[in-house]
Amino acid sequence: MTAETKNSLSFQVPVLLIYAVLGVLCLNNGYFWDTIQQISKEAHGYYQNGFSTLLLPATDTGVDGIATGYHPPLMGTITAALWKIFGYRLWVSHAFVMLWAVVLVCNVWKLLTRFFSHAMAGWVLFIVMLEPTVLTQFAIASPDFILLTAFIVALRGMLEHKPRLLALGLIVLCAVNMRGIFAGAALLAAQLYYSRLQAPKALNLRSVSNILLPYLPAFVLTAAYFGYYFAVRGWFFTHGAADGHYSLPSGVGAVVKHLAEYGLRSVENGRIALWLIGIYVAFHLAKKIKTLSAELKTVLLLFVFLAGLYLLLGCVTRMPFSARYFMPQFFLLTVLVLKGLTEIVAGRKIIVYLMVVLCFELTGHLWIYPRKIAKSWDCTLAHLPYYGLRTECFQYIDKQGWNYKDISGGFCLYGNRRFTELGNADKTISANANNRYFIYSNISNVDDSLLDELENPMRWTPVRQFEKGAVVIIIYEQKNHQ
């Protein structure tokens, strides 16, 4: 074993061990946050209908799966197939994402060693892989963890001139969800720029065709799916309430508030340290941008494309932002900032900066906001007590013998318990807050008006509270309920 291989393993193995331990601890956790829809509900549709149709129902019946439509159904179909093979178990999704963690660590390492020495790359690997959003998306077996992996694979294929690797990464990237398609388009624009930088006078019809060829499989598959969807169902948002997220903001104030949310999601959970160091680096190296390598210029352009895309969406939609949307650009930002840092900080002093970034990231799991400030609970391990508290809550309800028709709850708590637990079929919690009982949790990020109402002793009485760490679940009973 060479010294370089030993150095490589000395960083990759500890990271993989951390992920293995976390994965084992989460093996039997239920689906959480948007994975309830993006994985479980869609997988149930395919699992129950025996893959008889590609397009699932567009409205939620509470029994069958429901499709989002604008997200290609890769995760639903794969999960349903894995259930058929290995059994209808929660651990199946977690075991599946553990395989992707190995792919991610290996490809991040190979990409980082293009920009940093092996010793420096090891530290950057820890910063990338222990970032709270990435770690938590792995813990909940999220499609966005697979999206990040596919993005890194595709980026590596582009920079290393490996068209097959690029094509494979793009197929998965575009099939996971709509954000992956946006990222794929940004990769194409960045690659055209990268090719122009490497050979300014060599771009012609043939060379452009060679550049586009790895993108063709992903384009054909994506176009085929959306063409079929539009032919059968029409435009995405003709059904359900999802169109509210993609309608125009109500005014300038709403745009400002939305952009402020974008800013908060960008710096929260400890990432503020990276941004501050980034400002410091940009100030010192702004005049040297022309001297950057073609690879770094391409990474910078790709970062600007992705950041600009969400800046645009913040101005023209009401789409709620989550930090998981930005994982690819956070990775690019980390590479850019820390690479720039090596140019202005000499010797071992740079380790101090790296430790600051890493420590801030680790504190990210402690960023808990007041109840009226929405938090991306799917981006922090602080949510982990929720699973046990949820179980205690429903055990209490079942012990009391309450009728589920009298119970409503907030996000993650409402709906058919089957979709979250793969059990307790048809024990369905309503999203209507006018029922006799309401299950509140700070995980749900309920509207301020509902929170105020629940805290009004003239209308609601707390019946039972379950609390651990930063998570709380409270069962309220409505007074004088008819």
Please report, for the chain, the start and end positions of each structural domain, with discontinuous segments joined by +: 3-366, 384-478
Burial 461-481 (b: 16+ CB within 10 A, else e): eeeeebeeebbbbbbbbbeee
The number of CA neighbours under 13 Å toward the Cβ of 37 is 19
- pTM of this prediction exceeds 0.75: yes
Closest to 125 in 3D by CA, of 464, 413, 354 = 354
Residue by residue, pLDDT tens for the chain (482 residues) are 666 666 677 889 999 999 999 999 999 999 999 899 889 999 998 998 888 888 776 655 554 556 666 788 899 999 999 999 999 999 999 999 999 999 999 999 999 999 998 888 999 999 999 999 999 999 999 999 999 999 999 999 999 999 999 999 999 999 998 899 999 999 999 999 998 887 766 667 777 788 899 999 999 999 999 898 888 877 765 544 444 566 677 778 778 887 888 888 888 888 999 999 999 999 888 888 888 889 999 999 999 999 988 888 877 777 777 889 999 999 999 999 999 998 888 777 888 888 889 999 888 888 888 888 888 899 999 999 999 999 999 999 999 999 999 999 999 999 999 999 998 888 999 988 889 999 999 999 999 899 999 999 899 999 999 999 999 999 999 987 66
Burial 92-127 (b: 16+ CB within 10 A, else e): bbbbbbbebbeebbbbbbebbbebbebebbbbbbbb
Residues 178 and 70 sit within 8 Å (Cβ to Cβ): yes
255 phi, psi to nearest 5 deg = -65, -45
**Residues ≥6 apart with Cβ < 8 Å to 5:** none
Q: Is 376 helix (H, G, I), strand (E, B) or coil?
A: coil
Amino acid at 57: P
Greatest C-alpha distance within the chain: 79
Structure-block tokens of residue 69: 């439509």
Structure-block tokens of residue 295: 């690879």
Residues 113 and 146 sit within 8 Å (Cβ to Cβ): no
Calpha distance 210→203 (Å, rounded): 10
Calpha distance 454→471 (Å, rounded): 17
**Residues ≥6 apart with Cβ < 8 Å to 71:** 38, 176, 177, 178
CA 215 to chain centre: 23
Calpha distance 263→477 (Å, rounded): 38
